[in-house]
């Protein structure tokens, strides 16, 4: 029976939520250390301290009264990213670009009042489940032309999952017309599998189907060589050694000028990466144990 075989194959190679929690997250990550990943401010402090390449932080705003002063310090830059330290899933991230001395958000003019109230909302905890939060104001990463050849919008990033410093699986996340500039799989972004040996892109997955090309731009994806692949892997491994988390997802970007950088780390990397790679995490870990 074909479907019984199929179910068996899924059971043998796919990592499910239960097994991930019990065998990867709980034994490898102490709950008291989650904060080093969940709080982007803390994570960046570690990365900056250890000299790991990451986007520059222009300002950290923890109190409403500090907004005005922080703004004065950063407003000379032409591009800014404002994000909550404890946000999840890309919520609360505001990207600002200056055009003709006016701040633009997503192609529309935005005045300082609305920027300030966004920062205030972050501090009030709107994007962090009601906990009070701090706002990070960061350098805007200019995606490497490699990405814009495939799709010209948004900031694609790599997710590499590591176990005790060993990279298990990787994925390139790329925005689509549906995903509004966001690259998360569950927000309509595209997950593209990565051959960990060679750094060649595999097929893409949009949550429903697999493609060999970008569904919007139709440009080829399969078998494209990722630039800086060796550096990306090295950076991910370096990062994992500096965090007290033995199972983690590292998110990386490639800046046009500065090359690979770490965006953030994640204690509970999603399992959708298996769909992008058409490969089960359970099988990968078992192969590792054998070798």
Nearer to other proteins, 181 or 259 (CB): 181
CB-wise, 169 or 226, nearer to other proteins? 169
Q: Is 188 in the site for other proteins (CB under 8 A)?
A: no
Q: Which position has the token pair 């630039």?
A: 227
Task: Indicate the helix (H) or strand (E) that contains 113.
Answer: helix 112-124
132-160 burial, b if ≥16 CB within 10 A, otherwise e? ebbbbbbbbbebbebbeebbebbbbbbbb
Q: Which helix (H) or strand (E) holds 184?
A: none
Q: Is 196 in the site for other proteins (CB under 8 A)?
A: no
Q: Which of 1, 2, 101, 107 binds other proteins (CB under 8 A)?
A: 2
Single residue of 70, 169, 275, 284 touching other proteins by CB under 8 A: 275
Does 180 interact with other proteins (rule: CB under 8 A)? no
Stretch that binds other proteins, among 17-25, 162-170, 214-222, 247-255 (CB under 8 A): 17-25
Looking at the DSSP bridge assignments, the partners of residue 166 are 163
Q: By C-beta, is 54 or 168 nearer to other proteins?
A: 168
Q: Outline where DSSP puts E strands in the chain.
A: 57-61, 79-84, 94-99, 102-105, 108-109, 135-139, 157-163, 166-174, 190-194, 201-205, 210-211, 247-255, 259-266
C-beta closer to other proteins: residue 259 or 283: 283
Note whether 14 binds other proteins by CB under 8 A.
yes
* 3-state SS class at 151: coil
Looking only at residues 60 through 119 of this chain, which bind other proteins when binding is defined by CB under 8 A?
A: 91, 117
Task: Write down the least CB distance from residue 130 to other proteins, Å.
Answer: 7
Q: How far is the CB of 121 from other proteins (least distance, A)?
A: 8
Identity of the residue, 53 or 161, whose beta carbon is nearer to other proteins in the bound complex: 161
**Least separation in angstroms between CB 11 and other proteins:** 6
Apex CA 106: angle with CA 78 and CA 155, to 5°? Answer: 75
DSSP string covering 6-48: HHHHHHHHPPPHHHIIIIIIHHHS-GGGTHHHH-HHHHHHHHH
* Contacting residue, 151, 205, 229, 243, with other proteins by CB under 8 A: 205
Residue closer to other proteins (CB basis): 87 or 260 = 87
By CB under 8 A, the residues from 23 to 42 that bind other proteins are 23
Q: How many helices (H) and strands (E) does the chain have?
A: 11, 13
* Residue among 204, 280, 284, 285 that touches other proteins (CB under 8 A): 280
Beta carbons of 123 and 62 less than 8 angstroms apart: yes
CA dist., res. 11 & res. 13, Å (int): 6
Q: Which of 51, 65, 107, 130 binds other proteins (CB under 8 A)?
A: 130
- Looking up tokens 């074909």, which residue turns up? 2
Binding site for other proteins (CB under 8 A): 2-3, 6-7, 9-11, 13-14, 16-19, 22-23, 91, 117, 121, 124-126, 129-130, 205, 210, 271, 274-275, 277-280
């Amino acid at each position: 029976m074909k479907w019984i075989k199929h179910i068996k194959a899924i059971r043998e190679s796919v990592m499910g939520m239960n097994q991930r929690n019990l065998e990867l997250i709980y034994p490898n990550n102490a709950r008291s250390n989650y904060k080093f990943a969940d709080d982007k401010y803390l994570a960046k402090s570690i990365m900056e301290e250890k000299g790991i390449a990451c986007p520059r932080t222009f300002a950290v705003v923890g109190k409403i009264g500090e907004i005005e002063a922080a703004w004065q310090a950063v407003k000379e830059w032409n591009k800014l990213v404002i994000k909550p330290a404890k946000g999840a899933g890309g919520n609360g991230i505001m990207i600002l670009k200056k055009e003709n001395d006016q701040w633009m958000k997503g192609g529309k003019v935005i005045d300082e009042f609305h920027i300030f109230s966004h920062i205030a909302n972050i501090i009030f905890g709107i994007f962090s489940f009601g906990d009070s939060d701090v706002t990070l104001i960061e350098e805007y990463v200019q995606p490497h032309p490699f990405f814009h050849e495939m799709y010209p919008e948004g900031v694609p990033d790599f997710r590499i999952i590591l176990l005790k410093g060993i990279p298990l699986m990787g994925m390139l996340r790329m925005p689509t017309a549906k995903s509004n500039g966001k690259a998360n799989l569950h927000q309509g972004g595209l997950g593209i599998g990565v051959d960990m040996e060679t750094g060649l892109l595999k097929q893409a997955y949009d949550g429903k189907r697999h493609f060999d090309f970008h569904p919007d731009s139709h440009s080829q994806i399969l078998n494209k060589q990722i630039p800086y692949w060796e550096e990306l892997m090295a950076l991910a491994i370096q990062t994992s050694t500096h965090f007290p988390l033995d199972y983690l997802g590292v998110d990386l970007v490639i800046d046009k000028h500065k090359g690979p950088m770490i965006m953030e780390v994640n204690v509970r990397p999603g399992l959708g990466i298996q769909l992008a790679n058409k490969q089960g995490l359970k099988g990968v870990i078992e192969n590792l144990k054998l070798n």
